[in-house]
Amino acid sequence: MLELMTGKVHDEQRQGESYKPLPGEEKAYKKKFYIESYGCQMNFSDSEIVASILNEQGFGATRNLEDADLIFLNTCSIREKAEQTVRKRLTEFRKIKKQKPGMLVGVLGCMAERLKTKLLEEEKLVDMVVGPDAYRSLPGLIEEAGDGHKAVNVLLSREETYSDISPIRLDSNGVTAFVSIMRGCNNMCSFCVVPFTRGRERSRDAGSIVAECTDLFERGFREVTLLGQNVDSYYWSDDSSGKAVTFAELLEKVALVSPLLRVRFSTSHPKDITDQVLYTMAKYPNICKYIHLPLQSGSTRILQLMNRTYTREWYMAKVKRIYEVMPDCGISSDIITGFCTEAEEDHLDTLDIMEKSGYDFSYMFIYSERPGTLAAKRYTDDVPEEVKKRRLQEIISLQNKLSLRSNLQDIGKSFEVLIEGDSRKSSEHWMGRNSRNKVVVFSKASFPMLQKGDYATVTVLDCTQGTLIGA
Ligand code: 5AD
Ligand code: SF4
């Protein structure tokens, strides 16, 4: 599971992302809703499904909080801080609700699922609590809440994949889009709350995934990211033909939509990514040469406590295999520091694997104990806070060095870059990414004919730790 942040240290709130007026927003809808998403890419993708379900029922999206009759927060529970951010945001809504008494507030996503009705007791202004598998019931729940009853649906499903729903692209750049391919997780990493909040693994109908990607391409999108907690365990069997589709086969089907459609995916579990996936990636130039391969810890002893089911040697062998099949592949990672009983030598093992893997970047976190997880039940959160912080700093410093080293090696090379829009710092420059997922900024003047959504071949002249700078 890769979260949507680009910072060095991951701070779950991609704070309060709202969106530009949507096509048709000015239409006279019976009610308007405002939705904010926190946490992983899957949550952002789910908010687009929620928007579609509400739109079908005649509700219009607004990016203006004051105009909204319904406010939804799509929440994250992965670390305690993520939940605190949501609680703080809820307190900010109190004032608005006082001014507009009929307005309804709904909490969606992982916090809703984890806390259930407790959330209603703890946060009095909340009217609806809706888990990630219950979004189809939103129209009914809104009606119930509108009648003055608190409305809750936190049922988890073994089947729900929202496969027939075409997401409404919120806050879209019109070039890149997320496509959900599976939901839930069966892995039970001991630190992780996701299997409890998102339920059992299930895969979405392959035909509906390819249809969604084809539709996106026809509407001008040029990159899709196939999303799932553990994409490599994607497995869908077609009841009519009895034929099963693996993740490698799905990747191939999506790559064949058009050579101009880039394909990315996230997240891979090191234990599940197969040679077949690597060969498929190598075979198609439009499948991006980039793998997010969370390590979590470099110590075999800690990995065992985390229930990751691989050793440090096994992980290193996987990295070696990736580089054998695709020498130019970028790899990134998630790392947790200060897990229960982590000693200095375990920490050094993590630094060692980071160095050996040569990550382009990493998302790095301090361990946060989550109620109900295996780790919370079995182990003591015994690494002192200041040790956790110091180790995190060391991990960040090393990653910064690795990122800069990797970018310096690209100076003088040329890359195909998909233009996503203006550079954040200047409208005279384009911003895009290369296949390896590195951000490339370059002058528009060098490419006067190009537009957002076009590909440019850019030669790298300079770099910072986070960006390649082109001609
Ligand atoms: N504490 C800290 N980080 C966590 N992650 C998952 N659970 C926890 C936790 N309890 C991290 C893992 C995962 C990423 C999405 O979040 O590194 O890969
Ligand atoms: Fe959590 Fe592990 Fe599943 Fe990722 S693979 S969502 S870390 S349980």
* 248 and 362 both lie in a single domain: yes
Nearest ligand by distance to the CA of 183: 2
Give the nearest ligand 1 atom to 193 CA: 7
The DSSP code for 296 is B
Domain annotation covers residue 145: yes
Pairing type for strands 467-470 and 439-443 reads parallel
Max Cα separation, the chain? 65
Measured CA to CA, the distance from residue 334 to residue 295 in angstroms comes to 6
* 400 and 422 both lie in a single domain: no
Nearest ligand by distance to the CA of 268: 2
Give the nearest ligand 1 atom to 2 CA: 15
Q: What is the CATH number of the domain that holds 455?
A: 2.40.50
| SS3 (DSSP) at 321 | helix
* 394 and 437 both lie in a single domain: no
Give the nearest ligand 1 atom to 192 CA: 7
User: Ligand 2 centre from 192 Cα, in Å?
Assistant: 6
Measured CA to CA, the distance from residue 270 to residue 320 in angstroms comes to 12
User: Ligand 1 centre from 446 Cα, in Å?
Assistant: 42
* 218 and 123 both lie in a single domain: no
Burial 28-39 (b: 16+ CB within 10 A, else e): ebebbbbbbbbb
How high is the pLDDT of residue 270?
Answer: 96
Domain annotation covers residue 96: yes
How high is the pLDDT of residue 239?
Answer: 75
Which amino acid, 371?
Answer: P
Whether the Cβ atoms of residue 455 and residue 347 lie closer than 8 Å to each other: no
Domain annotation covers residue 302: yes
Domain annotation covers residue 163: no
Nearest ligand by distance to the CA of 187: 2
Q: What is the 3-state secondary structure (H, E, C) of 439-458?
A: EEEEEHHHCCCCCCCCEEEE
Measured CA to CA, the distance from residue 378 to residue 399 in angstroms comes to 31
| SS3 (DSSP) at 57 | coil
270 pocket-lining for ligand 2 (C-beta < 6 Å): no
Measured CA to CA, the distance from residue 185 to residue 447 in angstroms comes to 44
User: Ligand 2 centre from 212 Cα, in Å?
Assistant: 26
* 60 and 192 both lie in a single domain: no
Domain carrying residue 56: 4-153
* 269 and 368 both lie in a single domain: yes
Summarize the chain as % helix, strand, coil (round to 5). Answer: 35, 25, 40
Q: Read off the pTM.
A: 0.93
Long-range contacts, stretch 153-160, CB < 8 angstroms, 24+ apart: 153/129, 154/112, 154/113, 154/116, 154/129, 154/130, 155/131, 156/113, 156/131, 156/132, 156/184, 156/198, 156/199, 156/200, 157/133, 157/199, 157/202, 158/199, 158/200, 158/202, 159/202, 160/133, 160/136, 160/202
User: Ligand 2 centre from 358 Cα, in Å?
Assistant: 23
Four-residue CA torsion sign, 269, 10, 7, 175: positive
Which of 105, 120, 153 corresponds to the end of one domain? 153
Number of domains comprising the chain: 3
User: Which residues fall within 8 angstroms of residue 138, CB to CB, at 6 or more apart?
Assistant: 50, 53, 54, 106, 128, 130
368 pocket-lining for ligand 1 (C-beta < 6 Å): yes
195 pocket-lining for ligand 2 (C-beta < 6 Å): yes
Domain annotation covers residue 164: no
* 133 and 80 both lie in a single domain: yes
Whether the Cβ atoms of residue 94 and residue 210 lie closer than 8 Å to each other: no
User: Which residues fall within 8 angstroms of residue 13, CB to CB, at 6 or more apart?
Assistant: 38, 82, 85
**The residue to which tokens 């002249």 are assigned:** 461
How high is the pLDDT of residue 26?
Answer: 53
Domain annotation covers residue 158: no
Give the nearest ligand 2 atom to 193 CA: 1
Which of 355, 376, 408 corresponds to the end of one domain? 408
441 pocket-lining for ligand 1 (C-beta < 6 Å): no
The residue nearest atom 5 of ligand 2, judged by CA position, is: 187
Angle ∠(309,312,318) on CA atoms, nearest 5: 85
* 92 and 189 both lie in a single domain: no
Q: What is the CATH number of the domain that holds 16?
A: 3.40.50.12160
Q: Among 10, 189, 335, 367, which is best to mutate for testing ligand 2, by the most ligand atoms less than 8 A from CB?
A: 189
* 193 and 278 both lie in a single domain: yes
The residue nearest atom 2 of ligand 2, judged by CA position, is: 189
Q: What is the CATH number of the domain that holds 208?
A: 3.80.30.20
Which of 383, 408, 433 corresponds to the end of one domain? 408
User: Ligand 2 centre from 33 Cα, in Å?
Assistant: 31
pLDDT tens by residue, the chain, 471 residues:
433 332 223 333 333 334 455 555 556 677 999 999 999 999 999 999 999 999 999 999 999 998 999 999 999 999 999 999 999 999 999 888 888 889 999 999 999 999 999 999 999 999 999 999 999 999 999 999 999 999 999 999 999 999 999 999 998 999 999 999 999 999 999 999 999 999 999 999 999 999 999 999 999 999 999 999 999 999 999 877 888 999 999 999 999 999 999 999 999 999 999 999 999 999 999 999 999 999 999 999 999 999 999 999 999 999 999 999 999 999 999 999 999 999 999 999 999 999 999 999 999 999 999 999 999 999 999 999 999 999 999 999 999 999 999 999 999 999 999 999 999 999 999 999 999 999 999 999 999 999 999 999 999 999 999 999 998
DSSP calls for 94-145: HHHHHHSTT-EEEEEEHHHHHHTTHHHHH-TT--EEE-TT-GGGHHHHHHHH
Nearest ligand by distance to the CA of 39: 1
Domain annotation covers residue 166: no
First to last CA, the chain: 34
Domain annotation covers residue 165: no
* 331 and 364 both lie in a single domain: yes
Measured CA to CA, the distance from residue 168 to residue 53 in angstroms comes to 9
* 289 and 400 both lie in a single domain: yes
* 103 and 142 both lie in a single domain: yes
User: Ligand 1 centre from 309 Cα, in Å?
Assistant: 16
| SS3 (DSSP) at 268 | coil
Q: What is the 3-state secondary structure (H, E, C) of 400-418?
A: HHHHHHHHHCCCCCEEEEE
Q: Among 83, 191, 196, 395, which is best to mutate for testing ligand 1, by the most ligand atoms less than 8 A from CB?
A: 191
How high is the pLDDT of residue 440?
Answer: 98
The residue nearest atom 4 of ligand 2, judged by CA position, is: 1
